[in-house]
Amino acid sequence: MFGFIKKSLGKTVDAIKTVAPKKQLTFTKDEIEDILLEADVEYELVEIILRETYQEKITREILRSKLLATLAYTSYKEPEYTPPFVELIVGVNGAGKTTTIAKLAQKYKNEGKKVILGAGDTFRAAAIEQLTLWAKKLDIPIVSSKQGHDSSAVAYDVIDSAKAKGFDNVIIDTAGRLHTQTNLANELKKINRICDRAHASAPHRTILILDGTQGNSAIMQAKAFHEMIGIDGIIITKLDGTAKGGSIFSIAYALELPILYVGTGEQPENLTPFDKYEFVDGLLDAIFEEEK
């Protein structure tokens, strides 16, 4: 697992090396500020980290404790539920929702669970087609309809089918963008209500997919979705393709939401559980010299 996370931080590490080309045992506050900003940690958070640090020379252990503190909300506890476990996947178009759904489905299937998908993004024919292709590739059933049909009806049908056939997991895709944010909010709230009507307390988990290449600009997007529908956890995609890995600290700190997984590649198996210790140590290994 650690290998995947560390490897996916390659571009972020390269960015850090532009301001800190040589590893050292200690750095000044100004040097740490430059390093964190280069990794795309939000400026306000960098100020908070350094303001609460009284030592002039920053060691690995000092910075490690401060970075881990920003990730205090990253742990997740699964709610109690009656099967099937229903997940609603939200996020803007292009963030990697469909691919992430496939990765989650593969993960559950590998665990021996029966999984069914719901193609709830009925506003884009391409979304339905892409998810259907993944379902065929993974040999997982899918409930879908034509473009323009009621997405909440798809949600109801897939949950109903899962209950009747004894499925363990239901993963429902949703639209990433409608004509206005109000329309999107109303659509997501409707799907939420219908899920609960189909299966009490569903959805049991609502996951927001964020594009890691957007860095800190994803925070406002995440806040908007959280206000619309209430988010239970986040998956960061495309971490391997960005130099903005440090934005994870800002996202976790600003939203106080758990980061469940990070996407570390395009294949179904490239979904890595987020471990804050491994993530922090992966960055620090690129900054600090090893003590002898």
List the beta bridge partners of residue 211. Answer: 237
The answer on pLDDT for 2 being more than 60 is no
Of the candidates 120, 85, 78, which has an alpha carbon nearest to the alpha carbon of residue 105? Answer: 85
Distance separating alpha carbons of residues 124 and 144, to the nearest angstrom:
12
**Mind listing the pLDDT tens digit for each residue in 157-177?**
999 999 999 999 999 999 987
pLDDT of 3: 65
Distance, CA of 191 to chain centre: 21
Distance separating alpha carbons of residues 173 and 190, to the nearest angstrom:
14
- Inter-residue contact 216 to 40 (CB < 8 Å): yes
**Mind listing the pLDDT tens digit for each residue in 122-148?**
988 899 999 999 999 999 999 998 887
Q: What confidence tier does 188 reach under pLDDT thresholds 50, 70, 90? A: very high
- Inter-residue contact 155 to 143 (CB < 8 Å): no
Of the candidates 230, 234, 259, 247, which has an alpha carbon nearest to the alpha carbon of residue 72? Answer: 259
- Domain 85-272, CATH number (from 3.40.30.10, 3.40.50.1970, 3.40.50.300, 3.50.50.60): 3.40.50.300
pLDDT > 70: percent of the chain:
98
**Mind listing the pLDDT tens digit for each residue in 22-39?**
999 999 999 999 999 999
Provide the whole-model pTM: 0.92
pLDDT of 148: 76
* CATH 1.20.120 intervals, the chain: 2-73+281-287
Q: What confidence tier does 263 reach under pLDDT thresholds 50, 70, 90? A: confident
Q: Can you read off the two tokens belonging to residue 225?
A: 């979705």
Distance separating alpha carbons of residues 106 and 271, to the nearest angstrom:
10
Q: Can you read off the two tokens belonging to residue 5?
A: 């996370």
Class of domain 2-73+281-287: mainly alpha
Question: Helices (DSSP H) in 71-124: which residue ranges?
Answer: 97-110
List the beta bridge partners of residue 86. Answer: 170
Half-sphere exposure of 53 toward its Cβ, with a 13 Å CA cutoff?
A: 26
**Mind listing the pLDDT tens digit for each residue in 202-231?**
999 999 999 988 888 888 888 889 999 999
Report the range out of 7-16, 105-114, 173-182, 267-276 with the highest average pLDDT: 105-114
The answer on pLDDT for 68 being more than 80 is yes
